């Protein structure tokens, strides 16, 4: 079932000990680093570069404690010109747009759509069924929960944390991640609560805890986050 | 000393380039993904599934700057029905209960006990000598410090941070991690200080900084975290 | 171009399926775990231990969305006695001082200097061109941004987050990371804004958001962080 020499174009540059399972499709000029694994059903476009030790196209799994059960996914689709980092893990059933980049040791779950030229930083984690637009920067170590919507040109700073379960598993709740509208910017290590909306071009200050919707173009800071004009009591400089 | 064909039951499904060192014991119906490494002394139960690129049973190491010196550990024990993710790292001297799950790129240090059906999420990190009960959810990117006690049915949200050294290495101090009692829930990106206790069924709001004990059943939010009833001044919705 | 048997001293202990590219230089008594990859141009000192699945000496890459373009780097230099963890990723153009330790699943970008005996914890991420002194502890999951200066004997707690772009990509800005002076301590999950200075021996409380400079020897806590003496209104115990 596993065949290292399966359907590999002449133009491909494949590292040592790479595993490419049956049914994988590779475009032209693909580079895959040493020890990477490309699992059955993955479709890789032209001019894609994959680092070493990456795992592409893995299937989700279930556990007694996790209520949302997952089923077998269709293949992972990696667009032309994408760059996948060393040690990254990307699941089946996900699509990466043209020129997207996935950093080293980042992981992206099943059923997610990532737009063109978007960057998912090193060690960032993206949960299942999330939609991320084009030209977004999801920075290092950020956590993007399931069922989120992130529109185009959004900036999400390092170690930002999001959530989608208001009751933390204590009672039934329709999971709802934040909705971040186009051109919004979220400062590093900010915390976003379930179901809130961050407006177009809005700005969330670094370290803020956002507990309610932020209107278009408004800057909020603090814990809980409040509009900047109502918050000029101390030393905060807002921004990031 | 290394032998890929050492003591592997007929029922095992082993990927390409897997390394299984001498003295490893495998149960029935074990699956191990491509490139994973199972080091000497590891005991794997029945029906265990391991992803690709995992490292199981590694020994701890010392450094001049780390004061707590570690010694050679006994083998890692993985219970029946466990699921270990891609790229996960689990040390020797640790035990995983039946049906526990370790997410992709998570790491668990030596001397730790994880209860049955508990989930340690993707990219979560668990330090040494910590006790985690059964049916806990330790979510993506959470940091569980050394010498913590986490009882049964605890929820720890994404990117929660804990600590065990009140003086941050500036003076001698008996390391003491937080004690989180059964059914407590910690919101995403909350910060817990050393030595505090979180009571049974207590709730810590997302982004809160917890500097003192939280009684059973009480919800706290804010920086520093205070009981919710004393904190209804603004926009906080509490919960997670 | 790739040769597993290239210039490996008799004293080396090399695991299974290790890839050592041409032009790598190994000192005496080097140990490299299974499946690790050492890329062209890497120089490894004496008595260095590398775990399994590590990737050493990788080149940076560019993306349309990332404004700072990177060029080809000289080799990675790993000092005598260093310890590199399982699954760690360290880029070319970086230097690790004697006895430094890089934790499992940590990653360090190009052009960085790490001093002797410094520890970069598990899953920590260090960006490019940062200078870190000797005997520092950068704890698990911390994020160290680009262009930072961290002096000697600094403690950075778990999941601390830093930033270097005041405008989050919305307008041109000379990137400037925080400057952390010798013997300063940063509590876990604290957030540091761009361009600030943390004074010698200063202390930042856990979960604090630091928006302006902290003088030598001063302890700050809260959001935004203020000196401890001006902040004794509630339950904060400061410290970490």
pLDDT exceeds 60 at position B234? no
Could you tell me which chain C residue has the CA closest to the CA of B39? C34
What would the pLDDT profile of A212-223 be if each residue is shown by its tens digit? 999 999 999 999
Higher pLDDT, A164 or A6: A164
Kindly determine whether residue B51 and residue A63, on different chains, have CB atoms separated by under 8 Å.
no
Q: What is the pLDDT of residue A173?
A: 74
Interface subset of C 158-217, CB within 8 angstroms of B: 158-159, 185-189, 203, 205-208
Residues 6 or more apart in contact with residue B46 via CB below 8 angstroms: B27, B28, B29, B30, B80, B81
- Topology of the domain comprising A1-61+70-135: UDP N-Acetylglucosamine Acyltransferase; domain 1 (2.160.10)
Above pLDDT 90, what percent of chain B? Answer: 78
Q: What is the pLDDT of residue B165?
A: 84
Q: Nearest-CA neighbor of C90 among C102, C74, C72, C73?
A: C102
Averaged pLDDT for residues B35-56: 97
Q: What is the pLDDT of residue A233?
A: 44
Averaged pLDDT for residues A229-233: 51
Pairwise CA distance, residues B71 & C64, whole Å: 48
Q: β-strands C19-20, B37-38: how paired?
A: unpaired
What's the length of chain C?
A: 240
Could you tell me which chain A residue has the CA closest to the CA of C224? A236
Q: State whether residue C9 sits within 8 Å of chain A by CB.
A: no
pLDDT exceeds 60 at position B198? yes
Kindly determine whether residue C15 and residue B17, on different chains, have CB atoms separated by under 8 Å.
no
CA-only gyration radius of chain C, Å: 19
What would the pLDDT profile of B137-163 be if each residue is shown by its tens digit? 999 999 999 999 999 999 999 999 999
Among B165-179, C42-56, C214-228, the minimum mean pLDDT is found in: B165-179
pLDDT exceeds 60 at position B31? yes
Residues of B in contact with C51 (CB under 8 A): 55, 58
Among A86-90, B50-54, B61-65, C44-48, the minimum mean pLDDT is found in: B61-65
Smallest Cβ–Cβ distance between C206 and the set B61, B65, B163 belongs to B163
Above pLDDT 70, what percent of chain C? Answer: 89
Q: What is the pLDDT of residue C6?
A: 56
* Average pLDDT across chain C, whole number: 90
Interface subset of A 119-138, CB within 8 angstroms of B: 123, 125, 127
Structure tokens at C173: 């800005």
Could you tell me which chains touch chain B, where touching means 3 or more CB pairs under 8 A? A, C
Helices (H), A60-113: none
pLDDT exceeds 80 at position A35? yes
The DSSP annotation for A13-72 comes to EE-TT-EEBTT-EE-TT-EE-TT-EE-TT-EE-TT-EE-SS-EEEEPP---TT--S----
B145 CB-contact burial (10 Å; exposed 0-12 / middle 13-18 / buried 19+): buried
Could you tell me which chain A residue has the CA closest to the CA of B52? A55
pLDDT exceeds 80 at position A63? no
Averaged pLDDT for residues A56-82: 84
* Average pLDDT across chain B, whole number: 90
Identify whether the C-beta of residue B151 lies closer than 8 Å to the C-beta of residue B172. Answer: no
Averaged pLDDT for residues C176-194: 96
Kindly determine whether residue B87 and residue A105, on different chains, have CB atoms separated by under 8 Å.
yes
List phi, psi (to 5°) of C213: -60, 145
Compute the Cα dihedral for B32, B34, B36, B37 and give only its sign: positive
Among A41-50, B65-74, C2-11, C89-98, the minimum mean pLDDT is found in: C2-11
Identify whether the C-beta of residue B82 lies closer than 8 Å to the C-beta of residue A62. Answer: no
pLDDT exceeds 60 at position A15? yes
ipTM for the assembly: 0.91
Q: How many H-runs (helices) and E-runs (strands) does chain B carry?
A: 0, 31
* Coil, helix or strand at residue C28: coil
Pairwise CA distance, residues C111 & C165, whole Å: 19
What would the pLDDT profile of C149-181 be if each residue is shown by its tens digit? 999 999 999 999 999 888 787 777 778 889 999
CA A190, distance to chain mean position in Å, is 17
Q: What is the pLDDT of residue A61?
A: 82
What would the pLDDT profile of A105-150 be if each residue is shown by its tens digit? 999 999 999 999 999 999 999 999 999 999 999 999 999 999 999 9
Structure tokens at C231: 């902040």
Closest approach of chain C CAs to the CA of B166, in angstroms? Answer: 5
Extents of the domains making up chain A: 1-61+70-135
Structure tokens at A78: 């990696």
Residues of B in contact with C52 (CB under 8 A): 37, 55, 58
pLDDT exceeds 50 at position C109? yes
């Amino acid at each position: 079932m596993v065949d290292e020499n399966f359907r590999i174009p002449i133009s491909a540059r494949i590292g040592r000990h790479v595993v490419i399972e049956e049914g994988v499709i590779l475009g032209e000029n693909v580079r895959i680093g040493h020890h990477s694994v490309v699992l059955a059903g993955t479709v890789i476009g032209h001019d894609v570069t994959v680092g070493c030790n990456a795992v592409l196209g893995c299937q989700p799994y279930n556990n007694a404690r996790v209520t949302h059960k997952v089923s077998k996914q269709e293949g992972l689709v990696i667009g032309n010109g994408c760059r996948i980092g060393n040690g990254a893990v990307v699941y089946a059933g996900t699509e990466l747009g043209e020129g997207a980049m996935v950093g080293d040791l980042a992981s992206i779950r099943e059923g997610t759509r990532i737009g063109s030229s978007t960057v998912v930083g090193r060690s960032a984690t993206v949960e299942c069924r999330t939609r991320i637009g084009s030209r977004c920067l999801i920075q290092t170590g950020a956590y993007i929960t399931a069922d989120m919507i992130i529109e185009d040109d959004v900036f999400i700073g390092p170690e930002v944390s999001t959530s989608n379960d208001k009751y933390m598993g204590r009672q039934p709740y329709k999971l709802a991640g934040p909705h971040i509208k186009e051109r919004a910017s979220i400062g590093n290590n900010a915390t976003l609560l379930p179901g809130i909306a961050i407006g177009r071009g809005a700005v969330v200050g670094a370290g803020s805890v956002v507990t309610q919707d932020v209107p278009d173009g408004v800057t909020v800071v603090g814990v809980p986050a409040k509009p900047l004009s109502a918050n000029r009591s101390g030393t905060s400089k807002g921004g990031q």
